[in-house]
Structure 1
């Protein structure tokens, strides 16, 4: 059975964990009423997670360009191969688009992003009250699409594991 490299596995599972943490934190922080110290702390953590996901996404794309994915199982229907490839394209797009839309939303609100409290990311646009709600909505919608895509990805992996029993999930498991 062909498997992904341990580096690809690490990047995959680290990305998944950080996206889940950022998503949950985004839901929690937006439910906190008012502008409290806790809410501000969560906003910072959420942004740090997003920047980290974006950095790992760049590494993932570079790794993927240099290291081919293992072939799909022999006998996997062509429509499933196309669906899997389409889902991966969508997920890669969202792994970039969600943090970028959040960054643009933050800048449109006039708030700089200071990564890990250590250094400020470039500010290439000033506050924009007209654009802020648009970018907020774009960030929200992209996150909901990401949640649906991740759920479909997980369900497909479980289907391959427990119904098809074709080893697709084992290709990405380190054990």
Structure 2
């Protein structure tokens, strides 16, 4: 069994991570812009495009992961850490799908269709719904906060493995 992730898995990991950080930063920035301005509308578009891209790449990453085993855990790693790692990875995969999907439905409920890269209209799966809009906004926000916490925990665990355990876990995912 390989001791490192494949090059495609590594590339998808870091590309998705970068896009999630960018989408989060745009989301925080755009909601603080008062009123409806050209800059705010541009940021909303970019935020949605990144979300759709994350969703597509997450699908590709999940298919790759289902057909390619992860490297084994380091020898001597406690079972609880293995279980925690598997649980956190599962949560991160779930959130890579749930966050963009919740944003997509929030946008539709707000009556704003999503047009990927400004040229590809995505299907309108629900009609505008002023009653559903605030609930979907809250769901999207809560899922983003869960993603923020999960990513922070993931990074902290990687750094722990690198600098405290010195067991090579982080090196498996470095290009």
TM-score range, shorter chain: over 0.9
Q: Which runs of 5+ in 2 are unaligned?
A: none
Match of 1:160 in 2: 161
TM-score (norm 1): 0.98
User: Would you say 1:120 and 2:121 are equivalent positions?
Assistant: yes
Match of 1:40 in 2: 41
Match of 2:92 in 1: 91
Query: 4+ residue runs of structure 1 moved beyond 4 angstroms?
Result: none
Can you list the C-alpha shifts for 1:67-110, whole angstroms capped at 9, x where unaligned? 11000001000000000000000000000000000000000000
TM-score (norm 2): 0.98
Q: Distance in 2 between matches of 1:26 and 1:86?
A: 27
Q: Distance in 1 between matches of 2:126 and 2:146?
A: 26
Shift of 1:119: 1.1
Match of 1:107 in 2: 108
Match of 1:21 in 2: 22
Match of 2:133 in 1: 132
Match of 1:144 in 2: 145
Q: Which runs of 5+ in 1 are unaligned?
A: none
Q: How many residues align?
A: 174
Calculate the aligned-residue CA RMSD, in Å: 0.7
